[in-house]
Structure 1
Amino acid sequence: MLLEISNLSKSYGQLKALSRADLALAEGEFHGLIGPNGSGKSTFLKCIAGVQPPSTGRVLLGGRDITTASPQHRARAGISIKFQLTSIFPELSVYDNMLIASQSRESLVSLVFSRSCRTHRDHIARVLSHFALAERADDLAGVLSNGEQQWLEIAMAMALNPRLLLLDEPTAGLSIEERKLTGEFLRQLHGKCSIIIVEHDLDFIRGLVDHMTVLDQGSVLANGTVAEIQSNTKVQDVYLRRI
C-alpha cells in the first residue's frame, strides 16, 4: 500500500471534525473522498498533507510513519496538495510559477546560482503542455481564466513528480466545459501518481476514481468501488439527499 491511515481523529476544542477515520490507498490508485458539507473531507485531506496535525491516529506512506512529520517533510517524501482556493502568484508569469514550484526542493546554493533553472525547463514545458497551458507560459498568472488558474495550480503540484497528489474540489467554480477538460487532464495522470480527490460533483468523480470513501459527520460511512458506493443505501440516505 502507498498510504495507510488508521483511527485518524481531529478535534478543535469540543468540536470533533474527524473521528477514527481509516483509508488505504494502493500505488497508482485514484480515490474519491465524498460526503455532505461539514463531513470532514477537507480536514481529512489536510491531516494527510500535514497541514493540520491529527489529534489521534496513524499515517503511513510507503510503510513509513509520517504521522508527526511536517508538511515540508511530507512534500519531500512525495505528497503534493492543491487546496480548494488557488494560491498561485498572480504577478508572476505562468512559467515562473512553475519554476518556483519545481525549485522548492532545491538547495539554497542551487537557487542562488540558478543552477537548476535549465534542468527544469523541459520538464516544465511538458507539464504545462499536459494541462493545455504551454502557450500561456509567458502570460501573467493573474490574467488566466478561473479554470486555467486551477489547472496551473494542479500543474504546480505535479511539478515535483509526486507519488501522491491531494486535490480539494478542483472543479469548484468551473464551467461544464472546464470540468470536462479537468477530468481529461487528471485521467491522463494514471500511471504517474496516486490521487485522493475531494469533490461534490458525483458525475465528475465517478468517471475518474477507482474507489471512494464516504464521510458523514467526521466518520467513515462507507468504503468501496464506485458501483458499491452508488448502490449503498446508507450513502443514498445520508449523502445524496443532503448534497
Structure 2
Amino acid sequence: MPLLEASGISKIFGKLTALDDAALAVGEREFHGLIGPNGSGKSTLMKCIAGAEVPTRGKVRFINTDITAFTPTERARAGMSLKFQITSVLPALTVYDNILLAFQARCSLFDLVFSRTRGVLHDQVMALLTQFRLADRAHEAAATLSHGQQQWLEIAMALAGKPRLLLLDEPTGGMSLEERRVTGELLEPIKQHCSLVIVEHDLDFIRDICDRLTVLDQGRVLASGTVAEIQANKDVQEIYLRRA
C-alpha cells in the first residue's frame, strides 16, 4: 500500500485544463520527483496533494485515508508538510526562533501560555539547526542568511513537525551550484523517516536524489518509473528536446 496515492486527478480553471487524469503513488521512505516542461501541471498537482487546490475530479489518499476533502491544516496534522518555492521564513526573527516556532506549532495552548516550551525544545531546535548547517547562525536574524540558507531553514521548519511526507516545490531555485549540492546532502538523511515529493527543474539534482520520477506533459502523466527507466524513455527525451 503506497504512503500517498493520488488517482484520476483533474483540475480545470475555466477553459484551462491544468491536470487531466493525473496519478502519483509514493512509497514509504521514497524520494519521488515530479518533472516536466514549464506549464505541464507539476505545481498544480503538488497543490492538489497539499490541499492548496481542490481537484475538479479524482482522489488523494494518504496513509490509507481519503484526504481529498481535508484542509491543508488537517493534512499537516495527518503527517504531511509542504514547502512552496517562495521562502516564507520570518526574516526579523532569529534563525533559532524560526525553528522554535515551527516546533511550538505542535504544542498545547497550556504549554505555550506558561512558556514551558523553549527550554524543553532547545535540544531539538539545536539538533535540527546542526543537521541543516545553521547552528552557528542560530542567534542571527533570518534576514541575514543567504538565499540558499533561507531555503534550508524553511526545509528544517517543515521537518520540525516530524512529517511522514515532505512536499518541496522547486527548493533549489536561485541557488548556486554549491548550494544545490549541499541541499542534496541535507535531504538524504531524512529518508530514514520521511518520504519526499519534489518538483524541480534541475534534472541533474533530481536525478541524483530521487528513487522514482513521474513526468508530466500538458497536464497528463507521460511516464513514471525509476530514474534509469525515465532517462531511457524516448517519449520523455522527445518532449525535452521539443521544449528546449
- Scaled to the shorter chain, the TM-score interval is over 0.9
Secondary structure of 2:222's match?
strand
Letter in structure 2 aligned against 1:28: R
Aligned residue pairs, count: 243
Match of 2:110 in 1: 109
Gaps of 5+ in 1: none
Match of 1:62 in 2: 63
CA deviation vs aligned residue, 1:187-232 (integer Å, no higher than 9, x gap): 1222120000101111111010000000011111100000000010
Match of 1:52 in 2: 53
Letter in structure 2 aligned against 1:69: F
Match of 2:75 in 1: 74
Letter in structure 1 aligned against 2:47: K
> 1: CA distance between counterparts of 2:121 and 2:158?
14
> 2: CA distance between counterparts of 1:29 and 1:133?
26
Match of 1:93 in 2: 94
Letter in structure 2 aligned against 1:36: P
Letter in structure 1 aligned against 2:134: L
Match of 1:209 in 2: 210
CA deviation vs aligned residue, 1:43-99 (integer Å, no higher than 9, x gap): 111111111111111111110110000000000111111111100000000011111
Match of 1:134 in 2: 135
Secondary structure of 2:153's match?
helix
Letter in structure 1 aligned against 2:186: F
Match of 1:199 in 2: 200
Runs of 4 or more above 2 Å deviation: 105-110, 115-119
> 1: CA distance between counterparts of 2:120 and 2:98?
16
Letter in structure 1 aligned against 2:73: Q
Match of 2:188 in 1: 187
Gaps of 5+ in 2: none
Letter in structure 2 aligned against 1:174: M
> 1: CA distance between counterparts of 2:233 and 2:127?
41
CA deviation vs aligned residue, 1:21-40 (integer Å, no higher than 9, x gap): 11111100000000000111
CA deviation vs aligned residue, 1:124-163 (integer Å, no higher than 9, x gap): 1111111100111101001100110010000000111110
The farther-off stretch of 210-219 and 114-123 is 114-123
**Percent of matched pairs sharing the same residue:** 60
> 2: CA distance between counterparts of 1:115 and 1:9?
46
Match of 1:37 in 2: 38
> 2: CA distance between counterparts of 1:114 and 1:215?
47
RMSD: 1.0
Q: Give the C-alpha shift of residue 240 in structure 1.
A: 4.6
> 1: CA distance between counterparts of 2:171 and 2:243?
21
| TM-score of the superposed pair, with normalisation by structure 1 | 0.97
Letter in structure 1 aligned against 2:52: V
> 2: CA distance between counterparts of 1:4 and 1:240?
30
